Amino acid sequence: MSVQEQKYESLIEGILANGYAVCDDFLEQNEVNNLLKTFSNRYEEGKFKEAGIGKSNEVQKISTIRGDEILWLEPDSIDSAERVLLDKNQAFVNYLNQTCYLGIVDTEIHFAKYDIGKFYRRHRDTFQAKKGRILSVIYYLNVDWIPANGGNLIIYTNKDNLENVVTIAPLAGRLVCFESEKLDHEVTEAFAARFSVTGWLMNTI
């Protein structure tokens, strides 16, 4: 089994056991650096938009709930940094489909930036009227991140009717994957600019 397949298996085991999994160094340092350069260029070009909440035809922008800015990645992007990420994500999807028979047929992926003071209150990544998101994936791009910078991902799990709070720092190269329909989560207030790539693996188009 390759090193990459070992990472996939570790992620799958975590999801099966807890509903979520964390894999450090899923992205290599040079891949993180290249994505940050593309991220910065896109941001300076004014291509990011304030994120909203709700379904696509009912999106509301409420800064007291969500404060990040986002840019959707095109599936056929020819940017080299984006291409590496998209291909790595697709390789993970292919492995999931081959080993777990999840029937993933589509993905949605975007860059996300949280400026200082921004956050995203507790929520879930699915809507009652729109199913399809099986797994949420988050790739972090925050080099030299320290605890004082905040911006943690909080995942709420339930076992034996007891809620458990899991705190995950957004460290560069780290991948977090969790069940979209089952787990509430939030992003705590960031005290430094925070960068990530967020996606959903879907069984409908």
Q: For residue range 51-79, what is the model confidence (pLDDT) as tens digits?
A: 977 655 556 777 889 999 999 999 999 99
Assign residue 31 the CATH number of its domain.
Answer: 2.60.120.620
- pLDDT at 57 (0 to 100): 57
Bigger pLDDT: 103 vs 131 = 103
Region 193-199: mean pLDDT is: 98
Give the range of the structural domain holding residue 162, as residue numbers without chain letter: 3-202
- pLDDT at 121 (0 to 100): 96
- pLDDT at 129 (0 to 100): 44
Q: For residue range 117-152, what is the model confidence (pLDDT) as tens digits?
A: 999 999 998 765 456 899 999 999 999 999 999 999
Mean pLDDT (the chain, rounded): 93
- pLDDT at 53 (0 to 100): 75
Using CA atoms, how far apart are residues 154 and 108, in angstroms rounded to an integer? 21
Would you place residue 160 in the very low, low, confident or very high pLDDT band (cuts 50, 70, 90)? Answer: confident
- pLDDT at 38 (0 to 100): 98
Structurally, the chain folds into a number of domains equal to 1
- Residue 191 makes CB contacts below 8 A (sequence gap 6+) with 116, 117, 148, 149, 150, 151
DSSP 81-145: HHHHHHHHHHHHHHHHHHHH-----EEEEEEEEE-TT--EEEE-S-BTTB--EEEEEEEE-BTT-
Region 176-190: mean pLDDT is: 96
Region 177-182: mean pLDDT is: 94
Instruction: Say which range, 4-13, 55-64, 91-100, 134-143, has the weakest mean pLDDT.
Output: 55-64
Structural tokens at position 16: 């099966």
Answer whether 154's CB lies under 8 Å from 165's CB: yes
